[in-house]
Structure 1
């Protein structure tokens, strides 16, 4: 059996031990021969630290996987079977700016939603297009598993503007599944959640436990001080009347849409108090993590990585790769082309739903689904923003950029959108070659 070659773009990420652990756990069903960890030269120190930890983890497990550390993306991609993208253009410093600059306008600062998420998308799209150009040349049959945020927008860019086979991935659905299983005190494999929406805008319409609808029980569990959030999102409690009226399970990121004013105040308070934005807090988490990774006696993924927000990433990513490679016909929640699955969303845009995963890729389980009116308007509004964001980034179109921000439900007015766009373009000018010398 031919061994698999995996290329991980952003190999020096603090998340890398997660995915290495995943490949170790599934070594019997995935004959991985080489994992190429690719990064840029400025990330050399982190790449070496993470790469050496990966080698120690593999040695401890007795697996025969070769770890290659490189700055040469093309060599890493040559004849790769799977490509995983988990990079962050501009690093955590750029993320900190994404979280800070909207606050002076009283607008939410967050790395994947609102103007901060838009800035991240604009920086990332030129890079992902270059990566896909290399994939088309060097490993055209490879599957691209995209974990780079904003995952839905990046996946939509790839599927609309390249020939690369791509599935977008997020750890929010599996995180929700694990937390709901804890609330029910059952095994995650025994529950099924009818997921529908977009990346970071995902609802569980129904929760089933062994053919029993337990949605109401989960909602009451949330109101009984049970939590369904993630390390990077403030754990604000849900309003009981609202959750019962919604009668669906919101994802943690819905707090940004349903509790916007409270979260903006919380963010401003944290910055004014000196505690900093989430990115600035993560920089300290990463400092501790990489110090731990550097310990030559460490040969397992440290538990502290869960503080980084990447919990269950390895399970989501490697199980998806295994389902494709082994033609498993399993159900996974992924980002993929709509193709008529949700009839209120354009067919060529990307949605996040339960999909059948096999060697052909992802096939949405729903077909011509009518979204509940309680959520359809918000999905359509955010999808309009995403479509415009992709167009703005690919074409360097400042007018599409303005209309993307105007369409975003987290931005209150045209005047605010214009101010945000001007600030965004100035702050990120070194990363936005497509907008060079363009102005109104």
Structure 2
């Protein structure tokens, strides 16, 4: 099996490589090809990945290239994890939004739209290359905003595609830890959209443990639910995707980014890491520096959210995005069937959304493909927000595919975190100007 990692020069690429190497024998992995347009970072993180290969002893070839055609030729699975515009593009997205008085977070609202207008065309170009060079391969997308990118892929007819987000399965892992049971014994009911999902139940041996878990302050404080006030979680009566913080505490979220946006925090971390890697002296020392960086970055995740509550969050033990992707790869390749939360075409799973809408739901995955699990109608309290944001997503993807400025304005007006032409028009104008290298042909 050949895995192609598009964006293999990204800072988090070695984490994916490490997880893949640990499962190499199980999934029949022969080669991981790291591809990136940034040759300097590809060299740095390719060296770290090869050092991991030596330590794991899996006998997997780790190759690097700046040519997409080389990476895609013969690939069985293609992982896309790119950031067009880099970290400076993310910071521009955040700052433009904050200047206009709205959230600039990179996966939702104005910031999510700005990233999508760069990410969607790039991912579609890779998908078209795949159609020529590896037409039977699956495209597994990590690139943000994952829901919008995956929607664009389906709208363009690329059906062997799936969006991955580790937060889709966080309720399952948290309840398993709280109950002291294996994670695979917890069966959840997940519904919604990427970074806008809810978990209605978490059943173990026929009993729903979620109500008791949500009633336990220790459970809330040891999980990502700590970003919300406890009464907010309990009034909703469900596990909340942590990104719902940006909707349920919108003004606090905007205020928390005023002094330093998340992009600016990450750029500062990266600016310390990269020179150290270049002067580390040997790959082993560089790898130690890299894992120190990852621990620091993970510890700062959503640090500004509800910062008055200081209880530590249990570290993730599910290998993040990589673990979900590799579970899917193993199942599609003929391994054991898995049930996991994914971003896929709805196909009737959520009855009050369209069949072609990309949603975040539980799916069964095996050698026959990916099948969303039927959920039914969404509860009214949660449905209003999901429906509103899905309407925005449909408009945003159409606007980006057509390069239509006025439709883009309509999309942002429809988003619950913008809701105003007087904000949406300058947002679209400034984003198109700031990212002119990626927005040629916009009307």
TM-score normalised over the length of structure 2:
0.89
* 1:184 Cα deviation after fit: 3.5
Q: List per-residue Cα deviations over 1:144-191 (Å, max 9, x = no partner).
A: 000001111101111110335101101112344333333444432332
* Alignment partner of 1:128 is 2:123: yes
* Alignment partner of 1:391 is 2:398: yes
* 1:137 Cα deviation after fit: 0.3
Q: Number of residues paired by the alignment?
A: 419
- Distance (whole Å) between structure 1 residues aligned to residue 100 and residue 116 of structure 2: 20
* 1:263 Cα deviation after fit: 1.1
* 1:35 Cα deviation after fit: 1.2
* 1:417 Cα deviation after fit: 1.2
Question: Taking structure 1 as reference, are residues 97 and 228 closer, same or farther at Cα in structure 2, changes over 3 Å only?
Answer: farther
Q: What is the aligned counterpart of 2:30 among 28, 33, 46?
A: 33
CA contact (8 A) 1:120 1:150 kept: yes
Deviates more, 1:410-419 or 1:290-299: 290-299
Q: What's the Cα RMSD here?
A: 2.1
Q: Which residue of structure 1 lines up, in the alignment, with residue 283 of structure 2? A: 296
- Distance (whole Å) between structure 2 residues aligned to residue 185 and residue 288 of structure 1: 39
* 1:288 Cα deviation after fit: 4.3
CA contact (8 A) 2:213 2:219 kept: no
- Distance (whole Å) between structure 2 residues aligned to residue 92 and residue 303 of structure 1: 20
Q: Secondary structure at the match of 1:96?
A: helix
- Distance (whole Å) between structure 1 residues aligned to residue 346 and residue 399 of structure 2: 21
Q: What is the aligned counterpart of 1:284 among 237, 256, 268?
A: 268
Q: Which residue of structure 1 lines up, in the alignment, with residue 357 of structure 2? A: 349
* Alignment partner of 1:170 is 2:165: yes
* Alignment partner of 1:50 is 2:55: no
Q: What is the aligned counterpart of 1:67 among 52, 62, 66?
A: 62
Q: Which residue of structure 1 lines up, in the alignment, with residue 82 of structure 2? A: 87
- Distance (whole Å) between structure 1 residues aligned to residue 129 and residue 14 of structure 2: 25
Runs of 4 or more consecutive aligned structure 1 residues displaced over 4 Å after TM superposition = 222-225, 292-295, 298-301
* Alignment partner of 1:219 is 2:208: no
Structure 2: which 5+ residue stretches go unaligned? Answer: 299-315
Q: Secondary structure at the match of 2:59?
A: coil
* 1:252 Cα deviation after fit: 0.4
* Alignment partner of 1:22 is 2:12: no
1:7-406 → structure 2 map (5 Å cutoff): 7-40=4-37, 43-163=38-158, 165-222=160-217, 226-229=221-224, 236-240=227-231, 242-268=232-258, 271=259, 276-290=260-274, 291=276, 295-298=282-285, 302=291, 304-309=293-298, 312-366=320-374, 369-406=376-413
Structure 1: which 5+ residue stretches go unaligned? Answer: none
- Distance (whole Å) between structure 2 residues aligned to residue 175 and residue 47 of structure 1: 31
- Distance (whole Å) between structure 1 residues aligned to residue 360 and residue 116 of structure 2: 18
* 1:361 Cα deviation after fit: 2.4
Question: Taking structure 1 as reference, are residues 143 and 307 closer, same or farther at Cα in structure 2, changes over 3 Å only?
Answer: farther
